[in-house]
Structure 1
């Protein structure tokens, strides 16, 4: 395919997969249960944090997280007691356990009290660089006492990580809501600067289509993929996540 043909193909696939039906089998359905901005932010962040492995298990365990917070995530984060956190004992999603979950709640509370919330703390500076913004977010997130083991659940792209889950979360919060999938509630952010969430599926499809040469799924690969996708649509390059993911997961392309 020529670049023009490839762009048309991916535009068509992105438009096909970005619709309400996509939500049914995706963890984004968890924050879609809420209308309050802060509920959406927190439900989305926690769901994205555990978004690796079997998608059905991710959705089930993210739902369990919401239930443990009384299905009012923002109110729980801001007003929980130590006794409330004891309800988390026994929770586990792969390597994310109850102690990790407890810390995440405490850190989120600190972020809303001391740093004006998730939208502000993940906002890039003047250079529009989400690599630095995510790395800085991790420093703030672990600014309160924590177990060293919990740090592995927040990626640092400055250290080379593709930070797939945070980039996916940013897509959810920042991209326009007109198709009914993403939320578009972070008006201070610009979707033109987002990065495509890179995982096994999107990476493999990008390589098959010839828009990614690098073999590892790391931050250098994201930059390589970005350079192409931003030529295809400079204002909304991450819409192609729907195309790459759909081709990989649903079509086994």
Structure 2
């Protein structure tokens, strides 16, 4: 097992290697990168992150289908759709269990949110004494999801139910992280990236265990917080950069 200093050097190198514009090409982050308007980036990013499970090529293809339906102007579409537009979408298949009905629900929720907020950032504000996005994600959920039960609620995970909320945390990395590499957007000015966590899935979880960063066997919220403690010792101001390292090591199978 590598010592702390060696591990930090190793992961810093890997983060640098994968935090590179070439990364965008094969990753769902390429979807919001097609836009420059802040709200377009947010909507396209949130939708792409929401369906980010399974094969990355399939995710990108499904996200492109959603963009096409919205006339490649997500913000304009969610603010100005007609009932007929929504009717046309309802029966469509989008991505695995995320179907046309879910897509319509998300469009309607975006409409409500953007009527009251210029940016989704307002819904993720970190309050004093909070150390991560645990409560912010729940506040976002209660704003974004209607109070009535709906099948689409399952597509926005809850850390209060001990979910790792991988897709939301990935979306937050995209929006919040600022650096000069051009992969993450860093368009949310008022949230500090020191609160970010690693989006935890099978790959990042397995690599983290191989490196001795975590001991818990489940990929759940408690494990997200266990990993937080370690990666923040490596870099307390930009812990989420290590997502690139863990992801890259998972994809290349370098540690197998």
Q: TM-score, normalised by structure 2?
A: 0.95
Task: Judge which range, 106-115 or 227-236, deviates more.
Answer: 106-115
2:38 counterpart of 1:37: yes
CA RMSD, aligned part only? 1.2
Secondary structure in 2 aligned to 1:92?
A: strand
- Find 2:142's aligned residue among 117, 139, 143: 139
Match of 2:99 in 1: 97
Q: TM-score, normalised by structure 1?
A: 0.96
* Matched residues, number: 252
Tell me, in whole angstroms, the C-alpha distance in 1 between the residues paired with 2:200 and 2:84: 38
2:220 counterpart of 1:218: yes
Post-superposition Cα deviations, 1:27-67, rounded to whole Å, max 9, x if no partner, equal: 00000000101100110000000000111000000011000
Paired residues of 2:176 and 2:191 also in contact (CA < 8 A): yes
Tell me, in whole angstroms, the C-alpha distance in 2 between the residues paired with 1:87 and 1:230: 47
Paired residues of 2:193 and 2:238 also in contact (CA < 8 A): yes
Secondary structure in 1 aligned to 2:153?
A: helix
Cα 1:109–1:127 shift into 2, 3 Å: farther
Question: 5+ unaligned residues in a row in structure 2: which ranges?
Answer: none
Tell me, in whole angstroms, the C-alpha distance in 1 between the residues paired with 2:72 and 2:237: 35
Paired residues of 2:66 and 2:94 also in contact (CA < 8 A): no
Structure 1 residue 92 displacement after superposition: 2.4
Structure 1 residue 82 displacement after superposition: 1.1
Structure 1 residue 193 displacement after superposition: 0.5
Structure 1 residue 87 displacement after superposition: 3.1
Match of 1:174 in 2: 176
Question: 5+ unaligned residues in a row in structure 1: which ranges?
Answer: none
Match of 1:28 in 2: 29
Secondary structure in 2 aligned to 1:214?
A: coil
